[in-house]
Amino acid sequence: MASKNLVVMLAALAVGGGCASNKAAEKADGKPGEGGDGTVVAESIRQKKAGDETVTETDLNGDKKPDVWTYTVKGKSPDGKDIDRLARKELDINGDGKIDISRSYDEREQISREALDLDFDGRVDQVNFYEKGVIVRKERDLSSSGKPSLWLFYEKGKLVRRERDTNGDGRVDYWEYWENEQVDRIGEDLDGDGNVDKWTKNPDSET
């Protein structure tokens, strides 16, 4: 049951939906095929403990094994008091002793990055990026190549665009734009030059 619940939870984290923006086919935040910052997703899900971090282990399911690792660092509160600030958190959701989710937090203890191991091999398959605690981008490796091939972009927490590298050449060749919680139009690069050659409009979307 725990394993089933994990799959459901990770699936919910991996997908996105929502409404959106009527921006045209500009590439966002960086080079095509790199989803913004050239992130390589196939890193180890478990990060090394930094020298200034203090880790606290928690057993949530009562099996006498830790399933949550909370990392804190020394910091200051807004009023200048010394505090232990949340820096990272690692979670083992299915109780197999391995990390499934790794989260990083900013100086205000808002989530800034979330790495997911979707196939339980100890490597990152998807990375979610946040600004001020709000999702702005997801990157996922669909081909087990070690690099993202699917990018989802969000505005105000809502999905506005999906991009894919469908042939594994490292370049985006499929663009999906969302309006009013549905696909508005799809762009396809048919000759591999990085530009849209074919647009398909959703007849059910608002004009």
207 lies in a domain? no
Whole-angstrom distance, CA of residue 130 vs CA of residue 111: 7
172 lies in a domain? yes
33 lies in a domain? yes
Q: What is the pLDDT of residue 78?
A: 86
Residues linked to residue 74 through DSSP beta bridges, in sequence order: 84
pLDDT over 50 (residue 137): yes
The identity of residue 19, as a single letter, is C
Q: What is the pLDDT of residue 144?
A: 83
Q: What are phi and psi of 23, to 5 degrees?
A: -70, 150
pLDDT bin (cut points 50, 70, 90) of residue 18 is very low
Q: What is the pLDDT of residue 205?
A: 79
206 lies in a domain? no
Q: What is the pLDDT of residue 27?
A: 39
Per the prediction, the chain carries an average pLDDT of 84
146 lies in a domain? yes
Give residue-wise pLDDT tens across range 159-204.
999 999 999 998 999 999 999 889 999 999 999 999 999 999 999 8
159 lies in a domain? yes
Q: What is the pLDDT of residue 29?
A: 38
Domain that holds residue 145: 2-201
The number of domains in the chain is 1
